Structure 1
């Protein structure tokens, strides 16, 4: 594994870049590369804990399907996003599915190795807790938006969140590899409603639409549409 190459890529994210240098190096030393084909599952709901992951290349779709087959897409995560930390705290099965949305390369720190590292250095638990607390904040914001914000504002806000790596990167991505059906599943809207809302943003020159992708043309106006 080219540790220097991946370290530079991971250091572009807020969480990893603010870790103690010793912890950064320990995570890389304990990790291994995982490659997934498009559509391949990394893990599914109910699978046993398997450690901490970081997206190095490509994107991972985090979702859940109920007994009736209806799917909720929680997020689409890209480099340098870390996930999977909840199971380090409770050692319980996975709560959601993680699936490669295209060819994908990930860094995996296996469960046993991660727990061994934390046992030897208990102070590092706080760093892992900060990773989880950031996601808890985002979850609470999403719950509030579902209750209080109109669908158009929720859509604009979600596009911004994805572009900013859910708070992990400073320079927002301008092109999102994101099918409209995934956007609809994230927001709990019908495909028809989502398409109408996206078309309205496109007509205003705020975004551009193409097959399986959304281009963000005017971030300031998108922020205004999100009520920010």
Structure 2
């Protein structure tokens, strides 16, 4: 099994991890455990006890919730070098959502107990983890505002832009491994409306649609479509 150091280059592409003090980065990698998930495999469910902080270093993870009737609410689909699970680190309460591997994936786990012990010894680093959570909170407020105020077309463009910019956490990417059904779930739009908007973006040369993927051809024009 690869050592967590094997994934250092991936993690350093993320703004949060790259900005950490060198000694803290070393401590986190020393405690990290490599986990492999098959496509569709559950990582945790809403209500599970917190197990620690995760980083996606290969593949993708789907985060959302499923009702008793089987209806799915998809919040986000995250790819490297995305970190998640920090809410339960702060409050120690159960997981707020479900997490499943969207594809064959590799994650790094910082175990809850070891991470809390490190923060007990070095409480100055709580601020570093608070910055991770505050970044997510800002994004959540922006998405809620978009859901309330924007028509469907610019709302969809903004979500594609956020994903293309890796939610502000890594380098921009052109190819989104995202099915249209998943995008519709994220935006609470019908599959038909989502397809119509994407087809319009494709006709304008802004995106290219293939099975299970959306390729961003013109990032600048996508930004314009998001307003």
- Smaller-chain TM-score bracket: over 0.9
TM-score by length of 2: 0.97
Report if aligned partners of 2:4, 2:34 keep a CA contact under 8 Å in 1: no
Question: 1:7 Cα deviation (Å)?
Answer: 1.4
Q: Point out where structure 1 has 5 or more consecutive residues left out of the alignment.
A: none
Q: CA RMSD in A?
A: 0.9
Deviation string 1:63-116 (CA, Å, 9 cap, x unpaired) is 112233321111111111100011011111111011111000000011111111
Q: Which residue of 2 aligns with 1:17?
A: 18
Distance 2:146 2:10 in 1: 32
Deviation string 1:117-148 (CA, Å, 9 cap, x unpaired) is 11111011000000000000000001111111
Distance 1:204 1:163 in 2: 18
Q: Which residue of 1 aligns with 2:203?
A: 203
Q: Which residue of 1 aligns with 2:154?
A: 153
Runs of 4+ in 1 over 6 A off after TM superposition: none
Task: Verify: 1:59 aligned to 2:60, yes or no.
Answer: yes
Q: Which residue of 2 aligns with 1:223?
A: 223
Q: Which residue of 1 aligns with 2:31?
A: 30
1:1-228 alignment runs, 5 A limit? 1-169=2-170, 171-227=171-227
Question: 1:164 Cα deviation (Å)?
Answer: 1.3
Question: 1:4 Cα deviation (Å)?
Answer: 3.5
Distance 1:101 1:211 in 2: 15
Q: Point out where structure 2 has 5 or more consecutive residues left out of the alignment.
A: none
SS of residue matched to 2:123: coil
Distance 2:38 2:67 in 1: 25
